[in-house]
Chains A and B, each alone.
Chain A
């Protein structure tokens, strides 16, 4: 509906929000505020998906990361009295190690971005990409899809077993 300039403006706005809120997530003292900024950050990422015309991905991003993951995090913060209402430090003494690890990660990702050949398709995107994603997940990519489901199931059972009070 709007021109490229407008979507570029939105892209810079969203990127700014994402970066600022991500910095807040790791630097604020109040851990509840950190969780809320994480919600803002993940929501803005969904906005980027909208700009890329991946509406299904955007909706799922909000549904899973905002609706489930963040709410469970906030829930855990509210239930843990040691975390609640105290100004706790987010960093510890291992700053030097952390800098090396982060720098390594940054270099690796920058390198892989640089070497990857990005495919550019000239034809417009299919009108209904939800249908295409669904079909591909059930046909070509059914094995990875099922493997991921089993990993998640195993993680869930593991969490329940670890949290159980009585021994099995």
Chain B
């Protein structure tokens, strides 16, 4: 069943009521924003539960079991608990900066979804700068982390925020170059064009030998670092920094950082699925199911990393990005450009 049919029907019903076109556009915009917000909030709640269950599996524990079936509504209970908590602002905090940091982080995490294709036709707006828009908006996450680190007026928060920013800025470069090598092949920045260029399984960019798999591996490594997850979770290294940039946050503001973190993980998985795994392309099942299957598959890979690898040191982290990943990404970009130009592998 294709979801787009339902939305098209609703849109036609809205037009049939005879209200001015401006209002129809406005209502459909607000409606799509509300739907995406609801779906993503649900996904984030599910991901928190899944992360806890997977970590329990990897460590041979049970994980949450009591609330609902296998603890399925444990996150809902946790969220209700967090809402009830007192919202504390430290006396010496930089109040406006402290207040705005979680909001910017949260909004940036959701704003990305304007150009994420959830299925065939299921996209809020197919901007012709699609992937560039996503990359641009995600930079606000770094600003929010720096604001949180500064605004808290706490040395651990400051160190965590600075580590996080240094890491994200360093790994953003190889990530963008890896994305660029796919863009060179597609010849368009639009997310829909990217998906439509990989209609058959051997056209998926992960299978375009030899540049595809290299770009995919660079993307996955850089994405793990971008989302501050193990083995790159230095910004929140518990032994050194207690909790990192969010140490002074409590209640709803903490929940906003926490949810944004999981939504960012879903975002990078969705981008990975769209760029390298054919997005919503696939046989038999509806397109949005394929999109979710591929995205959750990548989310599983990120969780797998987290509960398998130990953490890197700061100097190793920086050296790996600048001395290994970046030259490799550039060499790969040149290779992709040559392949596109020579036309040998353009099937």
Chain A positions within 8 Å of B, measured between CB atoms, are 1-3, 30, 32-33, 36, 39, 55-56, 58-60, 62-63, 66-68, 70-72, 74-75, 78-79, 85, 127-128, 130-131
- List the B side residues contacting A1 at CB < 8 Å: 25
- Of A56, A72, A78, the residue contacting B150 (CB under 8 A) is A78
Query: Of all chain B residues, which has the CB nearest A57?
Result: B129
Q: Are B132 and A78 in contact (CB under 8 A)?
A: no
Q: Are A36 and B147 in contact (CB under 8 A)?
A: yes
Q: How far is the CA of A59 from the CA of B146 in the complex (A)?
A: 21
- List the A side residues contacting B137 at CB < 8 Å: 62
- List the A side residues contacting B162 at CB < 8 Å: 75, 78-79
* Closest chain A CB from B144 CB (angstroms): 11
Q: Are A78 and B25 in contact (CB under 8 A)?
A: no
Q: Are A2 and B25 in contact (CB under 8 A)?
A: yes
- List the B side residues contacting A3 at CB < 8 Å: 22
- Check: B139 CB closer than 8 A to any chain A CB: yes
- In the complex, chain B residues 93-109 whose Cβ is within 8 Å of any chain A Cβ: 94, 96-97
Q: Are B129 and A67 in contact (CB under 8 A)?
A: no
Of the stretches B37-45, B165-173, B313-321, the one at the interface is: B165-173
- Of A2, A74, A78, A79, the residue contacting B22 (CB under 8 A) is A2
* Closest chain A CB from B131 CB (angstroms): 9
- In the complex, chain B residues 152-188 whose Cβ is within 8 Å of any chain A Cβ: 153, 158, 161-162, 165-166, 169, 172, 187-188
Interface membership of chain B positions 96-139, coded 1 if the CB is closer than 8 angstroms to chain A and 0 otherwise: 11000000000000000000000000000001110011011101
* Closest chain B CB from A59 CB (angstroms): 4
- Check: B148 CB closer than 8 A to any chain A CB: no
- List the B side residues contacting A78 at CB < 8 Å: 146, 149-150, 158, 161-162
Known A-B contacts: A1-B25, A68-B139, A78-B146. Give 8 more (CB < 8 A): A55-B128, A56-B129, A56-B132, A62-B136, A62-B137, A68-B169, A71-B169, A130-B129
Given contacts A2-B25, A78-B158, whether A67 and B189 have CB atoms under 8 Å apart is no
Q: How far is the CA of A144 from the CA of B137 in the complex (A)?
A: 29
* Closest chain B CB from A44 CB (angstroms): 14
Interface membership of chain B positions 180-219, coded 1 if the CB is closer than 8 angstroms to chain A and 0 otherwise: 0000000111000000000000000000000000000000
Q: Are B94 and A32 in contact (CB under 8 A)?
A: yes
- List the A side residues contacting B143 at CB < 8 Å: 36, 39, 66, 70-71, 74
Q: Are B150 and A66 in contact (CB under 8 A)?
A: no
Given contacts A36-B97, A36-B147, A71-B146, whether A55 and B136 have CB atoms under 8 Å apart is no
Could you show 5 A-B contacts with beta carbons less than 8 Å apart? A32-B94, A56-B132, A59-B132, A62-B137, A66-B139
Q: Which of A1, A67, A79 has the most CB of B within 10 A?
A: A67
A interface SS class = helix
Query: Of all chain A residues, which has the CB nearest B26?
Result: A2
Query: Of all chain A residues, which has the CB nearest B136?
Result: A62
- Check: B47 CB closer than 8 A to any chain A CB: no
* Closest chain A CB from B8 CB (angstroms): 18
- List the A side residues contacting B25 at CB < 8 Å: 1-2
Q: Are B128 and A130 in contact (CB under 8 A)?
A: yes
- Check: B254 CB closer than 8 A to any chain A CB: no
Q: How far is the CA of A130 from the CA of B189 in the complex (A)?
A: 9
Q: Are B165 and A32 in contact (CB under 8 A)?
A: no
Q: How far is the CA of A56 from the CA of B131 in the complex (A)?
A: 11
Given contacts A33-B97, A68-B169, whether A63 and B129 have CB atoms under 8 Å apart is no
Given contacts A74-B143, A130-B128, whether A59 and B97 have CB atoms under 8 Å apart is no
- List the B side residues contacting A130 at CB < 8 Å: 128-129, 189
Q: How far is the CA of A79 from the CA of B140 in the complex (A)?
A: 20
Query: Of all chain B residues, which has the CB nearest A127?
Result: B128
Q: Are A75 and B139 in contact (CB under 8 A)?
A: no
* Closest chain A CB from B158 CB (angstroms): 7
- Check: B275 CB closer than 8 A to any chain A CB: no
Q: Are A63 and B146 in contact (CB under 8 A)?
A: no
- Check: B142 CB closer than 8 A to any chain A CB: yes
* Closest chain A CB from B174 CB (angstroms): 15
Q: How far is the CA of A55 from the CA of B166 in the complex (A)?
A: 28
- List the A side residues contacting B187 at CB < 8 Å: 131
- List the B side residues contacting A63 at CB < 8 Å: 132, 135-136, 139
Query: Of all chain A residues, which has the CB nearest B189?
Result: A130
- List the B side residues contacting A128 at CB < 8 Å: 128, 188
